[in-house]
Amino acid sequence: MTKPFTQASSEPDSDGLPGLAPGEEAVIALRGVAKWYGEVVAVSDLTFGIGAGVTALLGPNGAGKSTILNMVSGLIAPSSGTVRVLDRPVRRDTMIYREIGLAGEQEQLYGSLTGREFVRLNAILQKTPDPDGAAENAIAIVDMASAAGRALGGYSKGMRQRIKVAAALVHDPRVLLLDEPLNGTDPVQRASLIALIRRLGNEGKSVVVSSHVLPEVERFARNVLVIVNGKLAAAGDFRTIRERMDERDHMVRVRCDDPRRLAAALVAEPITKSIRLSGDGRFVAETNDVRRFSLLVPEVAKREGIRLFEMQPVDESLASVFSYLVGK
């Protein structure tokens, strides 16, 4: 399952597309895709594939995540390049929509319909054989049975998110595109949506989830595509990417009962680039090998009999994946 870490600039793997394991078949394939709005470039030079399972589409706001999802949905046409789903062109072939479900980022829904009517309507338009059964099933999956009889206009944000997901999966598509599905949900709803996303992925569907909340992404997707400034910045296994990140300089904050002595011992090591003491029993160390450094500190502290109170990365917050890739 572990996929090699690939960068956009690196050689494409055997299937010809970054983002796919060797020999893996592309369910979604983008080749040389770019999109301009007038003079503004939304995305450019995108070539990647997405296979089965959950893939997280990551990137800061405005990086082009929604543009990509909308192009895969056929809602907008790329300015150049091709977008194919299940090896069929979207936008020219409306029958492809039997295999695609999208829960987009738009907030408004048909306010006068009830949640059940809305999901059922989507089933009917998809020509699902048993629309009532399919709708009930989808509603049950997102845990909305109790509120399905109420009008959409009165839904909270979390409820809207879930009913949108129900409408997107009512026809049991092979490709499910979810744009920021966790936005606005409370911790309880978030946990149940995350469990749902994992389950759909395990069933072999291609689930693409865009998000900017990294700690959550970690919980449902191992495979990620990072979009920065409209370009593919990284693709592959989340942890591999995070480990790659360890190869750059890190800052670590340490609090102990004898910061001077510990700092003096650490600074003698070649992996320590600098140490800055701050008066309150803490120091911040900069290292070029954070893994070895993280082992070094307890070892040295143990040897010297220094008590460690705290040790935490200054920039480990997973947000640093972005800052790292953005800063490049």
Interacting residues with another protein between 2 and 61 (CB under 8 A): 59-61
Strand bridging mode 308-313 / 175-179:
unpaired
Is 135 a binding residue for another protein by CB under 8 A? The answer is no
Q: How far, CA to CA in Å, does 162 sit from each of 62, 168, 204?
A: 24, 10, 21
The pattern of x and - marking residues 157 through 186 that bind another protein according to CB under 8 A reads xxx-------x------------x--xxxx
- The span of 4-12, 25-33, 94-102, 200-208 binding another protein (CB under 8 A) equals 94-102
Instruction: Choose the binding region for another protein from 12-20, 102-110, 258-266, 269-277 (rule: CB under 8 A).
Output: 102-110
Q: Considering the complex, state which of residue 17 and residue 205 has its C-beta at the smaller distance from another protein.
A: 205
Count, residues near another protein per rule CB under 8 A: 86
Q: Which is nearer to another protein, 6 or 161 (CB)?
A: 161
Closer to another protein by CB, 25 or 243: give it.
243
CA angle, 44 as apex, 38 and 48 as ends, to 5°?
145
Q: Which is nearer to another protein, 52 or 262 (by Cβ)?
A: 262
Residue partners of 18: CB distance under 8 A and separation at least 6: 6, 7, 8, 10, 12, 47, 48, 49, 232, 235
Give the strand order in the sheet containing 88-89.
40-50, 28-37, 80-85, 88-89
For residue 15, the minimal CB distance to another protein (Å) is 27
- Where is 66: in which H helix or E strand? helix 65-72
Cβ atoms of 306 and 255 within 8 Å: the answer is no
Residue 244 · residue 231 · CB < 8 Å: no
Q: Is 289 helix (H, G, I), strand (E, B) or coil?
A: coil
The stretch among 9-17, 18-26, 99-107, 265-273 that binds another protein (CB under 8 A) is 99-107
Integer Cα distance of 20 and 279 in angstroms: 50
Which residues, numbered 280-319, are part of the site for another protein (CB under 8 A)?
Answer: 290-295, 297-299, 301-302, 307-313, 316-319
**String marking each residue 238-277 x if it binds another protein according to CB under 8 A:** -----------------x----------------------
